[in-house]
Amino acid sequence: MISYHTTKIQDLSIFYREAGQPDLPTLVLFHGFPSASHMFRDLMPRLEKHFHLIAPDYPGFGQSSAPDRRQFAYTFDHLTEIMAAFVTKLNLTPAYFYVFDYGAPIGFRIAAQHPDWIKGIISQNGNIYQEGLGPKWADRQDFWNHPTPEKRASYRTAFAPATIKNQYLTGTLPGQVSPDGYTLDIAYTHAPGYTERQLDLIFDYQNNIKLYSEFQAYLRTYQPQLLAVWGKNDPSFIFPGAEAFKRDDPNTEVDLLDSGHFALETHASTIAQLIVQYFNV
């Protein structure tokens, strides 16, 4: 059974989902863009007999506080600071981390800063390698290198309903994906200030790529158990990014699924089974 909570972190209300008994191994689930913790709604019931599950919404996402960007810096460093404080306040460590999309640079920042917190990592389309960047990232590199108001405005299409729906459907067979996830994501785009804070994060994403070498160094040094489970048809974070984990961490298993970016929408049961088997919980 999933329960729903909020806690205060630096005057922010941080929403989170919880399932499983607290005496079980903890698994913290870090969501991606443009989603929130509801992306784990099908996975959590399948894992609650094996883990104590905690899935927060970042500031500016889902049901958590969304302060005005003039008072709150929407950067990945800042989101990481809030999430690390959240993990500390709830006394969740040591824990397994599940990282997806935006959750990867947040989760790997925390892992590199606090390696003793980490029991293992599940990376589901959570990239930290240049070879995992799909073709769209070349355009973003141009935006980062030569930013203009016009280029920034062009990324408003990332929040269009059709774009969000396509993120869910691309790489999947017809009729496999429920409309629930993308419909809620689209609804969240109508929140006040949503577009500008998300554009700030798109611009700041360049700093995640600059940290890839540090994330990889963490893996080489600490070699945590790592399960890279990937929707292999994802055009954003392509599957060579999953295979690359094995270069730095010999304790890596890679599983490529016939799905897209939001692989949990089609393969939640399979991913749950792979997690339980790999970590032997």
Question: Can you tell me the distance from the alpha carbon of 76 to that of 204, in angstroms, rounded to the nearest whole number?
Answer: 7
Buried-state track 83-101, b at ≥16 Cβ within 10 A, e below 16: bbebbeebebeebbbbbbb
Query: Quick one: which H or E segment has residue 17?
Result: strand 12-19
As given in the structure block, the two tokens for residue 185 are: 């994501």
Tokens of 145: 């290198």
- Residue 27 burial (CB < 10 Å; 0-12/13-18/19+)? buried
Q: Which one of 31, 38, 261, 267 is the catalytic residue?
A: 261
Q: How many helices (H) and strands (E) does the chain have?
A: 13, 8
Asked if 198 and 159 touch (Cβ cutoff 8 Å), the reply is yes
Q: What is d(CA 271, CA 46) in angstroms, rounded to the nearest whole number?
A: 9
Is residue 261 part of the annotated active site? The answer reads yes
The radius of gyration of the chain's CA atoms, rounded to the nearest angstrom, is 17
Two structure tokens written together for 69: 């960007």
For residue 76, the Cα-to-chain-centroid distance in whole angstroms is 12
- Provide the annotated active-site residues: 261
